[in-house]
Structure formats: structure tokens, C-alpha cells
Amino acid sequence: MPLNVTNAINAYTSAAKALTGNEAREKNPAGDFASLVKDAAVAAVEIGDKSEKLSMQALAGKADLTDVVTAVTEAELTLQTIIAVRDKVIQAYQEIIRMPL
């Protein structure tokens, strides 16, 4: 079974539901962990798209170089953050799998 973020999120959700006292958290209007991750992924894709559009405009001579560099740097930082979070989620998933029942 290949490791992926969806499996890690599902394992996290299952483990959280197995613990007592999580009923109040499930009714939280702010959302759950999966929606938080989904929203972050959508925002990251939007940042990447913005960076690509500005880069294309710069190639056509229609964008300021400073804006392009700022957008590309923001996209790079976002990608590094996503990779770090993904690594932590996979690490947590692997620790949950190793837990004795």
C-alpha cells in the first residue's frame, strides 16, 4: 500500500474519533482537519497559478520584474511549506500504524 496524504488524513481522523471527548470538536463550526488541509492545498494551487500567469506576462513584456520575482518566491515558499507539512503528516501516519492496539 503506497503512502499518501489521504491515507494519513483518514488514519488521523479514525484515531481522533476513537479517543473519548472528541464529540465537541466534531461539532466545531471551523471545520475539521481534512477541510483545513484541503483549503491549504487550494490556496497553494492558486498561488502557483498566480506565479505562472505573472511569469507569462513578464515573458510578453507586460509585467514588472519585481512582481514576478515576488510571486515566484511566494510560490516556492508555499511549495516548501506543503512538502514539510506532508512529511509531518506521513510521519504521524507511520507512528499511528506502529501503535500497539
Q: Give the CA angle between residues 34, 51, 67 to the nearest 5°.
A: 130
Backbone angles phi, psi at 95, to 5 degrees: -65, -40
What percent of the chain is predicted at pLDDT more than 70?
70
- Write down the pLDDT at residue 83: 92
Residue 36's pLDDT band, with cuts at 50, 70 and 90, is confident
